[in-house]
């Protein structure tokens, strides 16, 4: 017991860093409303990272791209590819939406895994990936819903609502239900995955602080990337679905 406490004492610093507080928020009061300060802070950092790196890399584009520009060109090609496969030939105007969806979620997820947020102490709660908070994921999912409604309505006018009775009017309730399940599944998938990933890493770190959590952390990075891709791809798929003609 003595030995155990000793070894634990030496690793106390690690424990302190790895502590997790689920469902605790750093509340800010704005008027009569409350906001989750930790989510806003991390999202600002993520936005700053994205805008800063994009500005630096794309400021002065070269015909033969430099390393940074090459990377950003690759990312843009990737986003365009995703949008094109899901939306079709009219993907152009949706590249900013899909791309920002992907980049924001991706950088958020990876910031939660890679940036040492725990160094900064908050009075309540702790800094983590912005996608760790249900507000963020629901916000993104609702924006996706708005986006695909907008896409369908601008493309087909009120005829867009004809898809609810396609292929038979019997499916009307299910088609309406889909509009609720889409944002629900989008937001909860992202939220659950990121939160679960961080929890698993924290629990493992608290049990075995060295080496063992590393594969799980790598798996977490992989999952984070996949989740960002899934969210962006599904958003593009929904937009494409509402834009395509129903025959």
In the region spanning residues 127 to 166, those forming contacts with another protein, defined by CB under 8 A, are 130, 133-136, 138-140, 142-143
Q: Please provide the distance, in angstroms rounded to a whole number, between the alpha carbons at the two ends of the chain.
A: 73
Stretch that binds another protein, among 76-84, 157-165, 218-226, 230-238 (CB under 8 A): 76-84
193 is a site residue for another protein (CB under 8 A): no
72, 54 contact by CB (below 8 A): yes
Give whichever of 30 and 170 is closer to another protein, judged by the CB atom. Answer: 30
212 is a site residue for another protein (CB under 8 A): no
Cα 35 from Cα 135, distance rounded (Å) = 10
In Å, the largest CA–CA distance within the chain is 75
49 is a site residue for another protein (CB under 8 A): no
Q: Where are the alpha helices (DSSP H) in the chain?
A: 2-10, 12-18, 37-58, 67-87, 95-114, 134-156, 172-207, 213-243
Q: Cα angle vertex 141, ends 137, 145, to 5°?
A: 170
55 is a site residue for another protein (CB under 8 A): yes
Q: Which of 70, 71, 96, 159 binds another protein (CB under 8 A)?
A: 96
In the DSSP assignment, the letter for residue 167 is S
In the DSSP assignment, the letter for residue 33 is E
Number of residues that bind another protein (CB under 8 A): 63
Stretch that binds another protein, among 31-39, 113-121, 168-176, 215-223 (CB under 8 A): 31-39
Closest approach of another protein to the CB of residue 81, in Å = 13
In the DSSP assignment, the letter for residue 163 is G
Stretch that binds another protein, among 4-12, 110-118, 173-181, 238-246 (CB under 8 A): 4-12
Q: How far is CA 17 from CA 52, 112, 113, 118, 149, in A?
A: 28, 13, 13, 6, 44
Stretch that binds another protein, among 109-117, 150-158, 166-174, 202-210 (CB under 8 A): 202-210
Burial 192-229 (b: 16+ CB within 10 A, else e): ebbbebbebbbebbeeebeeebeebbeebeebbeebbe
Q: Which residues bind another protein (CB under 8 A)?
A: 4-5, 8, 12, 15-16, 18-25, 27, 30, 33-36, 39-40, 43-44, 47, 50-51, 54-55, 58, 61, 63, 69, 72-73, 76-77, 79-80, 95-97, 99-100, 103-104, 124, 130, 133-136, 138-140, 142-143, 195, 199, 202-203, 205-206
């Amino acid at each position: 017991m003595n030995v155990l406490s000793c070894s634990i004492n030496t690793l106390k610093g690690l424990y302190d860093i790895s502590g997790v507080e689920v469902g605790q928020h750093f509340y800010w009061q704005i008027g009569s409303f409350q906001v989750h300060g930790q989510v806003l802070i991390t999202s600002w950092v993520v936005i700053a990272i994205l805008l800063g790196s994009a500005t630096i890399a794309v400021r002065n584009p070269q015909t033969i791209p430099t390393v940074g520009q090459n990377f950003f060109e690759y990312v843009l090609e990737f986003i365009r590819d995703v949008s094109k496969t899901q939306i079709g030939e009219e993907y152009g105007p949706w590249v900013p939406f899909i791309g920002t969806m992907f980049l924001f979620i991706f950088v958020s997820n990876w910031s939660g895994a890679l940036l040492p947020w725990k160094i900064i102490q908050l009075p309540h709660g702790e800094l983590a990936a912005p996608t760790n908070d249900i507000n963020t994921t629901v916000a993104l999912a609702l924006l996706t819903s708005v986006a695909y409604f907008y896409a369908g309505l601008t493309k087909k006018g009120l005829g867009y609502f004809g898809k609810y009775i396609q292929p038979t009017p019997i499916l009307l309730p299910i088609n309406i239900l889909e509009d609720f399940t889409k944002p629900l599944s989008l937001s909860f998938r992202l939220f659950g995955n990121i939160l679960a990933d961080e929890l698993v890493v924290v629990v493992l770190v608290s049990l075995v602080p060295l080496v063992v959590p590393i594969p799980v952390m790598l798996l977490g990075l992989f999952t984070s990337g996949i989740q960002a891709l899934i969210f962006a791809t599904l958003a593009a798929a929904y937009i494409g679905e509402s834009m395509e003609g129903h025959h």
